[in-house]
Amino acid sequence: MTVRTIEAKTLLAGHKTPDSWFGIKYTLNLYRGCQHHCIYCDSRSECYGIADFDGEVLVKANAVELLDRELRSKRVKGYVSTGAMNDPYMPVERRLGLTRRVLGVLAARRFPVHVMTKSDLVLRDLDLLGEIEAACGGVTPGAVVSITITCADDALARQLEPAAPPPSARFAAIAELAAHGICAGVLLMPVLPFIEDDPENIRQVVTRAHAAGARHVIPSWGVTLRDRQREHFYAELDQRFPGVRARYEQRFGGAYSAQSPNAPALEALFTELAARFRLARTVAPYRAPGPEQLALL
């Protein structure tokens, strides 16, 4: 892939209220395009206007200065999230360190963060995540990391997410984050119909997440399918999973949302496991710690 820099006009996108799944108040994307090449990625869709999602990564060279300036005007503290449209820890981040510098700005401005990624490279920034947690944690965590894991099998994941670290490395990253007091969890999404939507896969992901110290697992029992995303996904299915494309076309046609036929059974299984392991299925919106109360003598 080629990598080139661009100048962004704005960086932070705010929400009137934090979203109900991830607790996010502000979102930012430091890159356009992604090097992980996940075969199902929704960000290939025409509506996002990324001309060459798999062939070029655009780096927002002025992101650090822009974020620092934009945060000065924010009066409401809330989770700042990176990772919605691309992975903040794709391979180029190892060299550029843009995500790391942005975490440094959040730490200095005392803003909480919710990082979403498929990469164990997030462990490189444990020190800054710890600083953010120390500065912002209290009623709710100051630093949250959610790692996408949609199957427990490394070989299957290599077919679905060819350039991302394997699930085994991601579970290990969750364990390391938890050991350092960082709130870590799993994004169990998308769960691909006819490929990942069997109960044993869901059981393994949730059980291993719990064993690693995850505090939350956020599931979604299907995948989106629209325009360029569908075309790319179906072409990959033809190469990697012969015959599965026909099942998608027969079951879902041109629908935008492709929910697993097994969704009710998977939901029942997940509900039972989450209750047993005391796992949350959402991340609560950030609540800033109140003023320190002096102890009475």
Which structural domains are found in the chain, ordered by start?
A: 2-277 (3.20.20.70)
Task: pLDDT band for 296, please (50, 70, 90 cuts).
Answer: very low
pLDDT at 47: 74
Task: In whole angstroms, give the CA distance from residue 187 to residue 182.
Answer: 16
Report yes or no on whether pTM surpasses 0.85.
yes
Q: How far is CA 274 from CA 223, 237, 269, 270, 280, in A?
A: 22, 31, 9, 6, 7
What letter represents residue 13's amino acid? A
Q: Give the phi and the psi of residue 243 in degrees, each rounded to 5.
A: 95, -20
Q: How do beta strands 13-14 and 24-28 pair?
A: antiparallel
Tell me what the pLDDT averaged over the chain comes to. Answer: 94
What percent of the chain has pLDDT above 90?
86
Distance of CA 228 to the CA centre of its chain: 21
Place of tokens 């996108």: 13
Task: pLDDT band for 83, please (50, 70, 90 cuts).
Answer: confident
292 pLDDT more than 70: no
CB of 40 closer than 8 Å to CB of 192: yes
